[in-house]
Structure 1
């Protein structure tokens, strides 16, 4: 166990660059699912490893050993190493749990505050118009979801581009993109190296919504102009009051790159077109799959070793 339990803690060093590389060659929707799934799986393996370390150390303490009916301390690992490691793992696990709970609660509170702030303003279907002069627009999740837009943004765009902008924000709501970002944020709390997945995930989600908007309005150029003009209008202006930090908006992210993708290619943008490109993507995918599988297998192996050690110690008592 002492070796296997460390593997999930180190594997993100290899998995995060591989996931970022693979996401660049996938369509936006597939890239978003890949990055979110990797973040969740790697965070789960990290949490399991910390839990196993903490449990192994706790079972060496006489009161806990008595509760588990252990006659002898566990034989797995050197106590001089395991006890400090277990203490550190326990502290980290508790800190992660508290931070994740705080992050989830803050996300919920921000959404509630934003909905209360937008409630007094006119609503047409799923569209809520704020009287603010500063251009802004974003997707506000909830039941029902709202596309929030300011009067300044409406004045900045012609009618066709407004529809493209609204279609973009509605795509965020329909696919519940805020949950993808929340998952990545919670995963980052479990392992700081997973922070490297958040920027490519946000870009993939924006590209996903861009493609959905282009398909909805039937004109990729109009969609590209809407995104570019909205970003230029928003410019250095501060976001609308009470706008949650976790919501998605068409004006965020690397807008020039997104506009270029809309103007220069179709929904399959990023797919390799050469045989060597396909081969390279397969290699990266195989490497990423190996990292995630190895991490999960190591966590399971460590759990099995701990269980076997506990059974041996319990057997001595019978």
Structure 2
């Protein structure tokens, strides 16, 4: 536990540096899965590490050690962390749990609202056309979900581009992209150092839908043109904020990557050959996640042995 308990915390500092390369060089669906898994595994591992450090500090306090029939003196001798470190870990753990619970509540509420709105929308083949001059299009999760398109967006695009728009939005629903968003945000809520994974996943989800649209229509150039036209129209006339907070759109405006130019990167990717799986990045990601998992398991096992030791000397 002396080293293993700190390794997930160290990895959460280093691993996010690989989020951008994964998003840019790896096939979008695989990249999204790797980013989501990384956020969840590292978020869980760091939370467990903080919990172990915090509890290890609590058993050094005689009054608390007596509750478990442990020896506080032995705990002070064998504990791998100073009491100050345990106190800081406890504060960080409390913040992580609070932020994760807050994020889960807000996400569950927004998805429930989206599902209710989707159920109340009359649709034909899952498509809802809204009489609004503002160019907008997004997927609304629900049972079933809805693709919502404004008349302004339909007028902005040519008829030959409407199928691209629908293929993109339907890809968000069929692949349950809102779940990937929620899971990466959960990991980032538990550990803010992991926010680059959530940011990159928002981009790769849009790229995933772009590639699905390209496969469905058989014309990558037309998809690239549609994405560019929709973005330019939205830039001239910004769409109002959506109340549900659970919609995914072709424009990708909700992405924190907007300042870095996600739309031009998506267009460039569509005009280039499809990306491959990039075995080196996949293997590196798997190695990091394996190291985090094994170190967390090792730290938990060492903590169990610590409790047995201080219990034997109580």
Same fold judged by TM-score > 0.5?
A: yes
SS in 2 for 1:124: coil
1:229-279 deviation line (CA, Å, top 9, x unaligned) = 2112222433345344443211115222212222232xx32567xxxxxxx
Unaligned residue ranges in structure 1 (runs of 5+)? 273-280
Shift of residue 108, structure 1, vs aligned partner: 2.6
Alignment of 1:149-168 (within 5 A): 149-168=149-168
Distance 2:35 2:147 in 1: 26
Distance 1:17 1:182 in 2: 21
- The equivalent position to 2:306 in structure 1, one of 283, 303, 309, is 309
Shift of residue 117, structure 1, vs aligned partner: 5.4
Q: Quick check: 1:117–1:242 contact (8 Å CA) kept in 2?
A: no
Say yes or no: does 1:42 pair with 2:39.
no
Worse-matched range after superposition: 255-264 or 307-316: 255-264
Partner of 1:60: 60
Distance 1:237 1:108 in 2: 30
Distance 1:22 1:219 in 2: 25
Partner of 2:255: none
Q: Quick check: 1:129–1:150 contact (8 Å CA) kept in 2?
A: yes
Say yes or no: does 1:258 pair with 2:266.
yes
Q: TM-score, normalised by structure 2?
A: 0.87
Partner of 2:294: 297
Partner of 2:108: 108
In the TM superposition, structure 1's runs of 4+ consecutive aligned residues that sit over 6 Å from their partners are none
1:53-102 deviation line (CA, Å, top 9, x unaligned) = 11111222234322322144413237xx5322222222221221121121
Distance 1:207 1:139 in 2: 15
Distance 1:157 1:244 in 2: 26
Distance 1:114 1:18 in 2: 33
Partner of 1:221: 221
Shift of residue 112, structure 1, vs aligned partner: 3.7
Q: Quick check: 1:12–1:193 contact (8 Å CA) kept in 2?
A: yes
1:264-297 deviation line (CA, Å, top 9, x unaligned) = 32xx32567xxxxxxxx63x55544333322222
Against the structure 1 CA distance between its residues 48 and 10, is the aligned structure 2 distance closer, same or farther, given a 3 Å change threshold?
Answer: same
Distance 1:146 1:235 in 2: 24
SS in 1 for 2:203: helix
Q: Quick check: 1:129–1:148 contact (8 Å CA) kept in 2?
A: yes
Partner of 2:135: 135
Shift of residue 122, structure 1, vs aligned partner: 4.2
Unaligned residue ranges in structure 2 (runs of 5+)? 253-257
Shift of residue 298, structure 1, vs aligned partner: 2.2
Against the structure 1 CA distance between its residues 30 and 77, is the aligned structure 2 distance closer, same or farther, given a 3 Å change threshold?
Answer: same
1:8-42 deviation line (CA, Å, top 9, x unaligned) = 11112222223432443221111111111111111
Alignment of 1:16-95 (within 5 A): 16-73=16-73, 74=75, 75-77=77-79, 82-95=82-95
CA RMSD after TM alignment: 2.3
Against the structure 1 CA distance between its residues 237 and 64, is the aligned structure 2 distance closer, same or farther, given a 3 Å change threshold?
Answer: farther
